[in-house]
Amino acid sequence: MNSEHVEVIYTDGQKKQFPKGVPIEEALDAAGKGKDRWVAGRLNGVLLDLRSGLEEGGHLEGVPVDSKEGLEILRHSTSHLMAQAVKKLYPKARFAIGPAIENGFYYDFEVDEPFSQEDLSKIESKMKEIISARLEVKRREMPREEAIRYFEERDESYKVELLEEISDDIISCYQQGDFLDLCRGPHIPHTGHVKAFKLLSVAGAYWRGDESKPMLQRIYGTSFPDRDGLKQYLKFLEEARKRDHRRLGKDLDLFSFNDEVGAGMPIYHPKGALLRHILESFEKREHLRRGYQVVMGPTLLKTDLWKRSGHFDNYRENMYFTEIDEQSYGVKPMNCLAHMLIYKSRIRSYRDLPLRYFELGTVHRHEKSGVLHGLLRVRQFTQDDAHILCMPEQLHEEIQGIIDFVVEVMGIFGFAYEMEISTRPEKSIGTDEDWEKATAALVGALEGKGISYNVCEGDGAFYGPKIDVKLKDALDRKWQCATIQCDFTLPDRFDLTYVGADGHRHRPVMVHRVILGAVERFMGVLIEHYAGAFPLWLSPVQATIVTVTDSQVDFARKVWEELKGMGLRVELDDRNEKLGYKIREAQLQKVPYMLVIGDREVSAVGIAPRRRDGTQLELMSTGDFAALVERECLEASKGRVGLGII
């Protein structure tokens, strides 16, 4: 092979030679398949534009538009397309950034007037014009200085700011028609590749997410290779609205919020309270069997104590304070203080350790008004909180025990989750050495279990690094639930000690951890996870008895009492309505079982159960039905919960 040629190896192993500089597009077409499906090429793992020339040989593959990278490129290009449309309609707009995100893209602009819903339609129309023009999307490389000059001349201060942080001498821009944007690429070859897109919403967003920086206008949108994909996604959004726990909380009469009470303070109605009670009983039992001890601390603690713990200095803006008899008190935002004082209430021996204090502790945090979100972010919530005090050499095992606990519980609820390790933030207390030790303990425990995790630098709590477990809501937004946090500082501040085998005092280490996290948030995620159709063991109402006519009401009452007596959660619908009406209502309430009682059942002394999925069971006795329910509960809860609640 001479230097004028490059050799390409395709994914099927086939090899071909081309003159150097041949466009990737041509080299891919030569393989004879997939023409037009590609939005980019990948040479030796690097994504490149279809129009860029091959300067070196190697493994080459086409990136199909419906692959993960292909979609990303399409969406990124759609965001550029939108920016071009905005530039045409609002020449004074300044441009910030416009990346592809998980299900679409956004672009941030600085404009005099925020965009309205009508503006979005206008922008969409302009985008369609640009698509029809099939403008070529050209990559242009230029010296950094030249690019800075170009954007300075156009008063694009955000682009200049971005450029000033790029260290490369040569940077790339992409041009389509008269619109040029700073971008790494790659992009689709021409605007005609955008087939199905929609602008979804407008929102304010701080430049670089920093509230001290100007607020920009962000337009969110999405883009798909074809109309069907877009339609499906819009359908998913619609379905997600039906699963929304705020919607279901109302429909299923679980909880409410009230203007007169205040924001972020949930009110539990009977069924919501029962659901919560079931969760909490389950939790208590699970903790007791794992060697935790249940404790309880007060809600108000003197401010001096919060000063000693470091909360006053580091967490004050999230706390509520009040005064009693001229003494300042703080409402607890965390449960740790009382637990420390329990530890301190007597001399501890190494033989006592580890100590695991568990509390369903209700805390209050002043969350900013704009972030409140149904049950998922509130100002009053109850954590399934525990603090483990142990010897440093027990730390690893304790953390592994907690991880096992989390994995087991998430398995019972059937949640998929992501684990993250967060390291030291800027605002924090403790020595570097402590932080390193604690971080190493967390990493070691996860790696020991072979669990994969992401690292979030600087996202730790002020007192220590942590492992977070994130669950997703109906819209795939992630919410932190379980968290395991090391703390080498509180035992120090409170001078916690234990007497070792050597007769000397030593410092224990502490782990803060929650499994569900906040019961409120967990319930919110749980409601969306099951779309309100809870498994039998969690369902606040497990069965509704429905009578066919008035003449069966007496018998139905007896059945009702009997089933309640056996520990089932049953309701009776003896209203004078047609059977279909009552079935429909129970169905909409997502009750797992409907127990039909007509003349047949009265004479056979039984009930005819119908599952909420529509399947019809044989007429059976109340005892058989209770046994069925028990079996199903035990199965779904992996043996934890049968009939009744503790």
Partner RNA sequence: GCCGACGUAGCUCAGGGGUAGAGCAGCUGAUUCGUAAUCAGCAGGCCAAGGGUUCAAAUCCCUUCGUCGGCUCCA
Residues annotated as catalytic are: 336, 365, 383, 385, 387, 466, 512
Is residue 587 a contact point for RNA (CB under 7 A)? yes
- Name beta bridge partners: 218: 108, 203
Among 150, 257, 415, 417, binds RNA (CB under 7 A): 257
Contacting residue, 601, 620, 632, 633, with RNA by CB under 7 A? 601
Closer to RNA by Cβ: residue 477 or 507: 477
Segment 180-239, which members bind RNA (CB under 7 A)?
Answer: 201-206, 209-211, 215, 217-218, 220
Residue span binding RNA (CB under 7 A) among the ranges 1-9, 169-177, 370-378, 492-500: 370-378
- CB 454, min distance to RNA, A: 13
Q: How far is the CB of 218 from RNA (least distance, A)?
A: 5
Residues 382-441 that bind RNA (CB under 7 A): 383, 425
3-state secondary structure of 627: helix
Single residue of 189, 517, 540, 592 touching RNA by CB under 7 A: 517
Selected from 159, 190, 311, 377, the binder of RNA by CB under 7 A is 377
268 vs 270: CA distance, rounded Å? 7
- 104, 221, 361, 374: residue in contact with RNA (rule CB under 7 A): 374
Residue 593 φ then ψ, to 5°? -130, 140
Give dist(CA 132, CA 135) in Å, integer: 8
Q: Is 639 left (phi over 0), alpha (psi -120 to 50) or beta?
A: left
Please give the distance of CA 192 from its chain centroid, rounded to a whole number. 35
Cβ(181)–Cβ(155) below 8 Å: no
**What is the nearest approach in angstroms of RNA to the Cβ of residue 426?**
10
Query: Whose Cβ is closer to RNA: residue 14's or residue 258's?
Result: 258
List, as one string, the DSSP characters of 466-528: EEEEEEE-TT--EEEEEEEEEESSHHHHTT--EE-TTSSEE--EEEEEEEEEEHHHHHHHHHH
Interface with RNA includes 348 (CB under 7 A)?
no
Question: Which of residues 48 and 421 has its CB atom nearest to RNA in the complex?
Answer: 421
Q: Which residue's CB is nearer to RNA, number 412 or number 579?
A: 579
Among positions 107-146, residues that touch RNA (CB under 7 A) are 114, 116
Q: Strand 570-573 to strand 543-547: parallel, antiparallel, or no bridges (unpaired)?
A: parallel
Report the residue from 252, 442, 594, 643 that binds RNA according to the rule CB under 7 A: 594
Provide the minimum distance between the beta carbon of 526 and RNA in the complex, in angstroms, as a whole number: 13
Q: Following DSSP, what letter does each residue of 310-359 receive, concatenated?
A: THHHHHGGG-EEEEETTEEEEE-SSSHHHHHHHHHTS--BGGG-SEEEEE
Q: How many residues does the chain have?
A: 646
| Residues from 549 through 578 that contact RNA (CB under 7 A) | 549-551, 576-578
Binding flag, residue 513, RNA (CB under 7 A): no
Residue 281: alpha-carbon gap to chain centroid:
25
Minimum CB separation of residue 317 from RNA in Å reads 9
The residue among 496 and 515 lying less far from RNA, judged by its C-beta, is: 515
Residue 74: CB partners within 8 Å, gap ≥ 6? 39, 65, 188, 193, 194, 223, 224, 225
Cβ atoms of 377 and 264 closer than 8 Å? yes
CA dist 381 and 514 (Å) reads 13
Asked if 250 touches RNA (CB under 7 A), the answer is yes
Q: Which of 450, 580 has the CB closer to RNA?
A: 580
